[in-house]
């Protein structure tokens, strides 16, 4: 590229450690033109975030740029003093960080944190800065910005906090935005809103964007070009429309093929893990994991070089020119980028040619053909949390209403079945999972385990037969105990007679860890290894049911795939039943036999996985599915972006609880609350499909609250929308 806004050349960053200096990134080079969107992808440990922090001059004290240059707007950022860098940050380049809770100061209001950036870089009064801050909050689509500006970060939702970070980043109109995993911890619907917001801001302000993520679907839908990083180096870069359709580097193809998809294909696992910076192999860093490696790959680490034209190897049933006829989604920017060509770091590029990005194997039938009798059953389960601030508030009438986290849920789980539980944060998924283990007391309803009410199941039996795999292993594993001690406690708690040492070795081997891992502390393990320890702890008591709460949400696509396959294999070998809680529908598509969709404390749709993903009935399910990013840049995206976030559970809407966000809402939806009713395709709670409301039987025996057949309802059913949303 010429006259690029950002030009990174041979960037090498080192960190001092007790064992000497290690190179986190090495010889990283790429360009970003004005108005262009570049995606940087790769697994954890590839060097994505270090690259961003090197550009921004935000390295830790033990880090330094050992070589290379970072030119932005004509000057080299690596040669600037800290004072000069402070002037550049915000006005010329700004960064949106991954975790808003650790990036925002908890003791300062949102308004203070936005205005301090404005006052630092602009000659305005405090009153003018406050007005600008309110305008920025409105630009990032935060409702009621005049009130939000005086709130603290903990009073906002995750999506709102991320919007505040974006408002801070754009407050001084930078030429370049660097977004480091801005949607990793967000629900798929909120992620869609944030991506849509970034797209509009970049377009309206003519700002360039560097999007750092391990979600290839995000890059496919939002970026013009992509740089693929592995073990501190860029191994392939070029237009997204080419790299994701005809990858030239085996690592790029491996990432694409291992990505869980909504489509009916079986992901192919990318074996192994990214090597640590101090343990990188001789030759190509990817050679030990590469299915195409030869002896030549173990000699030298290949540089990034222009890739010549290569044709896709022919194979039966494989399209020889899959890029032909694909619609490029990003318009003129994508077309301009496409003319710039490709670069690949692989000595076998010409021999291998282009690779297939989509697995050939079709997904196995997801509905379990034979399941046993029901092992867990919930009927009208309810859970309220008090929202009163004090005992006096709880005793006095007229106070804050309780938070109804779970609102009359019916649930069943058969022996040998995996039930996927999906929905946005605040839907009640985790609370329902904890209720199944009596980790939380129910407010109402009944849960039966193996035919008995939970109250009649002895606690020792319940804890040994139902186990929980927590979302965050960092907070669920004792940091002061070795893996061996953690597992030893679980084993001896429920089976004092067993040979504990042998059992620990068996468990670690079963979850794919070296038995010697027993001597390590949690902080010495990777995220995937820690989550495997969590699975081993759950298996230590030989349970019948496992409740897994978002166990893959913070993992890379390759590690995520390994853990999903591990759980599926263990489930089949042991005959386990599983409740798998997630907001990632691609993951649920991969592992679940049946899916229950939750919204605002209720289940709104239930069905077998294949049927529900193929023909969703509830508008909320359809919106969730449409919001999942597709790693195929040529896919036609008909995204349904829901307005706002889940309503306050203390004051849910009248009528259908989804009515305030539903694109298909009818007049009667505002006053009538649909019941979950079975039909030929599963169960659905929606007036588009039936007229049964809560408190009314499906056969219409009790009709005192039944909705009238309004003209809107008749019209909806007449045009076929009552059959399929």
Q: Of 298, 309, 296, which Cα lies nearest the Cα of 344?
A: 309
- Does 253 lie in the same domain as 213? yes
Which residue, 286, 321, 352, sits at the end of a domain?
A: 352
The Cα-based distances of 250 to 247, 297, 323, 347 in angstroms read 8, 12, 18, 11
Q: Is 408 among the domain residues?
A: yes
Q: Of 206, 184, 677, which Cα lies nearest the Cα of 195?
A: 184
Q: Is 117 among the domain residues?
A: no
Instruction: Retrieve residue 487's tokens.
Output: 């597992």
Q: Is 153 among the domain residues?
A: no
Q: Is 160 among the domain residues?
A: no
Q: Is 138 among the domain residues?
A: no
| Euclidean distance between CA atoms 73 and 287, whole angstroms | 37
pLDDT tens-digit map of 437-470: 888 899 999 999 999 999 899 988 898 899 999 8
Q: Report DSSP state, residue 521.
A: -
Which residue, 609, 633, 664, sits at the end of a domain?
A: 609
Q: Report DSSP state, residue 595.
A: E
pLDDT of residue 394: 55
| Euclidean distance between CA atoms 22 and 334, whole angstroms | 37
- Does 407 lie in the same domain as 332? no
- Does 408 lie in the same domain as 281? no
- Does 679 lie in the same domain as 594? no
- Does 713 lie in the same domain as 568? no
Cite the beta strand spans of 302-416 per DSSP E: 305-306, 343-344, 374-385, 403-414
pLDDT of residue 1: 41
pLDDT tens-digit map of 139-154: 888 888 999 999 999 8
**CATH code of the domain covering residue 246:** 3.40.50.300
Q: Residue 455, Cα to own-chain centre: how many angstroms?
A: 36
Q: Is 145 among the domain residues?
A: no
Q: Residue 61, Cα to own-chain centre: how many angstroms?
A: 31
Helix segments in 554-640, DSSP class H: 557-574, 585-591, 609-614, 619-626
**Angle of CA points 556, 560, 566, to nearest 5°:** 155
Q: Is 303 among the domain residues?
A: yes
Q: How many structural domains is the chain composed of?
A: 3
pLDDT of residue 29: 95
Q: What residues in the chain have per-residue pLDDT under 70?
A: 1-2, 185, 309-340, 361-370, 387-399, 496-497, 554, 696-725
Cβ atoms 681, 616 nearer than 8 A: no
The Cα-based distances of 604 to 173, 321, 341, 409, 632 in angstroms read 43, 42, 48, 10, 30
pLDDT of residue 496: 64
The Cα-based distances of 338 to 237, 238, 345 in angstroms read 11, 7, 19
| Euclidean distance between CA atoms 123 and 670, whole angstroms | 49
**Three-state DSSP state, 125:** coil
pLDDT of residue 399: 63
**Three-state DSSP state, 585:** helix
- Does 625 lie in the same domain as 558? no
Instruction: Retrieve residue 416's tokens.
Output: 């040998």
- Does 465 lie in the same domain as 408? yes
- Does 410 lie in the same domain as 284? no
Which residue, 609, 635, 660, sits at the end of a domain?
A: 609
pLDDT of residue 632: 87
- Does 579 lie in the same domain as 564? yes
- Does 626 lie in the same domain as 604? no
Q: Domain containing 569: what range?
A: 374-393+402-477+533-609
Q: Is 238 among the domain residues?
A: yes
Burial letters 187-201, b for 16+ CB under 10 A, else e: bbbbbbbbbbbbeeb
Burial environment of residue 659 by CB neighbours within 10 A (0 to 12, 13 to 18, 19 or more): buried
What is the model's pTM?
0.81
Helix (H) / strand (E) containing 211: strand 208-212
Residue owning tokens 């927590």: 470
Instruction: Kindly calculate the radius of gyration of the chain based on its CA atoms and give it in whole angstroms.
Output: 27
**Three-state DSSP state, 13:** strand
How many residues are there in the chain?
725
Helix segments in 326-442, DSSP class H: 331-338, 349-352, 391-395, 429-436
- Does 289 lie in the same domain as 182? yes
| Euclidean distance between CA atoms 522 and 405, whole angstroms | 32
- Does 451 lie in the same domain as 589? yes
pLDDT of residue 358: 86
Q: From the CB of residue 340, how many other CB atoms can be counted at a distance below 10 Å?
A: 16
Cite the beta strand spans of 636-695 per DSSP E: 677-679, 682-684
């Amino acid at each position: 590229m010429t006259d690029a806004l950002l030009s990174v050349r041979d960037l090498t960053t080192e960190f001092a450690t007790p064992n000497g200096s290690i190179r986190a990134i090495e010889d990283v080079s790429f360009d970003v033109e004005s108005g262009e969107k570049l995606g940087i992808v790769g697994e954890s440990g590839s060097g994505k975030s270090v690259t961003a922090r090197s550009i921004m001059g935000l390295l830790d004290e033990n880090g330094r740029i050992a070589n290379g240059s970072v030119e932005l707007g004509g000057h080299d950022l690596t040669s600037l003093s800290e004072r000069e860098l402070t002037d550049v940050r915000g006005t010329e380049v700004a960064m949106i960080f991954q975790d808003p809770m650790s990036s925002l100061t908890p003791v300062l209001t949102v308004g203070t944190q936005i205005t301090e950036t404005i006052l630092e870089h602009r000659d305005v009064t405090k009153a003018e800065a406050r007005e600008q801050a309110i305008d920025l909050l409105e630009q990032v689509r935060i409702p009621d910005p005049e009130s939000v500006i005086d709130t603290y970060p903990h009073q906002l939702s995750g999506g709102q906090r991320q919007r505040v970070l974006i408002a801070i980043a754009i407050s001084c109109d930078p030429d370049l935005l660097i977004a480091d995993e801005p949607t990793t911890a967000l629900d798929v619907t909120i992620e869609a809103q944030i991506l849509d917001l970034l797209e509009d801001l970049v377009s309206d302000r003519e700002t360039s964007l560097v999007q750092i993520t391990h979600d290839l679907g995000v890059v496919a839908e939002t970026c013009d070009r992509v740089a693929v990083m592995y073990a501190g180096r860029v191994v392939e870069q070029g237009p997204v429309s080419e790299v994701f359709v005809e990858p030239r580097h085996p690592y790029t193809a491996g990432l694409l093929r291992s990505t869980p998809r909504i489509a009916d294909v079986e992901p192919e696992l990318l074996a192994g893990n990214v090597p640590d910076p101090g343990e990188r192999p001789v030759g190509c860093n990817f050679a030990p994991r590469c299915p195409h490696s030869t002896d030549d790959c173990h000699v030298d680490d290949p540089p990034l070089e222009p890739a010549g034209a290569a044709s896709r190897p022919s194979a039966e049933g494989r399209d020889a020119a899959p890029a032909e006829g694909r619609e490029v989604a990003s318009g003129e920017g994508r077309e301009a980028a496409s003319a710039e060509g490709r670069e690949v770091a692989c000595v076998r590029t010409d021999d291998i040619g282009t690779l297939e990005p989509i697995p050939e194997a079709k997904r196995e039938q997801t509905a379990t053909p034979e399941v046993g009798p029901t092992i867990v059953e919930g009927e009208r389960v309810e859970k309220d949390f008090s929202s009163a601030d004090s005992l006096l508030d709880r005793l006095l009438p007229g106070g804050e209403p309780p938070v109804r986290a779970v609102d009359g849920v019916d649930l069943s789980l058969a022996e040998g079945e995996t039930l996927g539980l999906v929905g946005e944060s605040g839907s009640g998924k985790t609370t329902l999972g904890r209720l199944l283990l009596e980790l939380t007391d129910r407010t109402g309803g009944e849960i039966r385990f193996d035919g008995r009410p939970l109250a009649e199941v002895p606690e020792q039996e319940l804890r040994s037969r139902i186990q929980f795999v927590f979302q965050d292993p960092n907070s669920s594993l004792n940091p002061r105990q070795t893996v061996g001690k953690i597992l030893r406690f679980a084993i001896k708690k429920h089976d004092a007679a067993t040979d504990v040492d042998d059992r620990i070795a068996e468990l670690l081997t079963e979850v794919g860890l070296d038995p010697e891992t027993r001597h390590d502390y949690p902080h010495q393990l990777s995220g995937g290894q820690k989550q495997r320890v969590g699975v081993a702890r759950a298996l230590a008591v030989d349970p019948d049911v496992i409740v897994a709460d978002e166990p893959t949400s913070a993992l890379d696509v390759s590690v995520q795939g390994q853990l999903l396959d591990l759980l599926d294999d263990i489930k089949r070998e042991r005959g386990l039943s599983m409740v798998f809680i997630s907001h990632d529908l691609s993951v649920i598509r991969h592992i679940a036999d049946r899916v229950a969709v939750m919204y605002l404390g209720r289940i709104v749709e239930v069905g077998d996985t294949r049927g529900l993903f193929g023909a969703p009935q509830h508008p909320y399910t359809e919106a969730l599915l449409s919001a999942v990013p597709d790693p195929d840049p040529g896919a036609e995206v008909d995204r349904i972006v829901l307005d706002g976030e889940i309503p306050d559970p203390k004051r849910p809407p009248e009528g259908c609880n989804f009515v305030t966000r539903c694109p298909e809402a009818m007049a009667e939806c505002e006053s009538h609350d649909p019941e979950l009713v079975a039909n030929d395709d599963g169960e659905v709670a929606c007036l588009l499909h039936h007229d049964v409301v809560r408190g009314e039987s499906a056969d219409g025996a009790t009709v005192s609250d039944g909705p009238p057949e309004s003209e809107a309802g008749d019209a909806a059913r007449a045009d076929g929308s009552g059959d399929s949303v």
